[in-house]
């Protein structure tokens, strides 16, 4: 079998002028437990990052909060000057310990986030900077206004948002062109269907985080299990392939700290599902999501 190549997933142009392979990489897991501190195996984490361009991955998603700072530092150490790569980062969350994330959207803090990411990544302009969360304690005009200013100053090429609804995207669009939206979305988590539809209509890249989750569909005898067995691949590969089939603006960013797992993820770019398989997976995923919502209400 030939080496997996993320370019088999197709291409999407972020902001209309920044082409990337649709199957990217999320650099959250090259950090310690709780996304806190250094990775348990720093050598393997560096091998993962060095392997990305060899596998055709061109979109790498990170954040200043990953570590904090560890992910950005490792990316610079391993991949700078990022030839042929788009390193997208995020800011606006503060860290107070493992698995603790608190939004701060004050304009002076967001400006600091951008300036410090520029320094850590070793670049003069960030290709894609995403607001990690909209801070409910700060007016959106203040948060979006400073991002417009940073873009006008040439420090950010494209601006994205994370975990937002359609109304927030519309509000942000008054200040700048929203290039990407990064929301929780996977086979069995469909809260953001309306956001995805909006992104499709407006050519906005949709970056699903937690893309490999399949919930109850990972059990034996499910549609997901049957499709995976038919193709001779892991459940996660089918979940990724389904995302790529789901929408042309979909940019999955599965992350890992292991080279072997990375190669399996990238191989999903080569997996072609039939129309019947895509439809069956979609129906099963929606049903699982609706059942979960009903159980919680």
**Cα angle value 22/242/173 (rounded, 5°):** 50
Residue 215's nearest CA partner among 291, 276, 296 is 291
Cβ 76 vs Cβ 82: under 8 Å: no
Cβ 174 vs Cβ 145: under 8 Å: no
- 243 vs 88: CA distance, rounded Å: 20
The single-letter DSSP state of residue 102 is E
Residue 22's nearest CA partner among 30, 34, 14 is 14
User: Which residues lie across from 158 on neighbouring strands?
Assistant: 128
- 31 vs 207: CA distance, rounded Å: 20
| Tokens 């939004």 sit on residue | 103
The yes-or-no answer on residue 185 being catalytic is no
The one catalytic residue in 66, 82, 185, 198 is 66
163: Cβ contacts below 8 Å, ≥ 6 apart: 133, 134, 182, 183, 184
Residues serving a catalytic function are 66
């Amino acid at each position: 079998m030939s080496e997996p190549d993320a370019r088999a997933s197709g291409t999407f142009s972020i902001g209309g002028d920044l082409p990337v392979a649709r199957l990217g990489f999320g650099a959250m897991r090259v950090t310690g437990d709780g996304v806190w501190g250094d990775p348990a195996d720093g050598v393997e984490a560096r091998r993962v990052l060095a392997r990305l361009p060899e596998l055709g991955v061109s979109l790498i998603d990170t954040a200043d909060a990953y570590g904090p700072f560890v992910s950005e530092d490792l990316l610079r150490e391993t991949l700078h000057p990022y030839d042929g790569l788009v390193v997208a980062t995020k800011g606006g969350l503060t860290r107070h310990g493992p698995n603790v994330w608190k939004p701060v959207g004050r304009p002076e803090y967001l400006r600091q986030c951008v300036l410090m990411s520029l320094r850590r990544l070793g670049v003069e302009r960030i290709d894609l900077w995403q607001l990690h969360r909209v801070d409910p304690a700060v007016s959106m005009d203040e948060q979006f206004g400073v991002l417009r200013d940073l873009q006008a100053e040439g420090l950010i090429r494209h601006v994205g948002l994370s975990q937002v609804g359609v109304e927030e995207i519309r509000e942000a669009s008054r200040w700048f062109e929203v290039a990407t939206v990064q929301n929780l979305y996977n086979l069995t988590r469909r809260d953001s269907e309306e956001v995805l539809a909006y992104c499709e209509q407006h050519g906005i890249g949709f970056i699903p985080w937690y893309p490999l989750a399949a919930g109850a569909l990972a059990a034996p005898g499910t549609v997901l299990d049957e499709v995976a067995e038919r193709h001779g691949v892991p459940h996660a590969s089918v979940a990724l392939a389904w995302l790529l089939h789901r929408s042309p603006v979909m940019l999955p960013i599965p992350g890992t700290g292991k080279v072997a797992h990375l190669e399996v993820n990238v191989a999903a770019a080569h997996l072609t599902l039939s129309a019947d398989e895509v439809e069956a997976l979609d129906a099963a995923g929606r049903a699982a999501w609706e059942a979960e919502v009903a159980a919680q209400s």
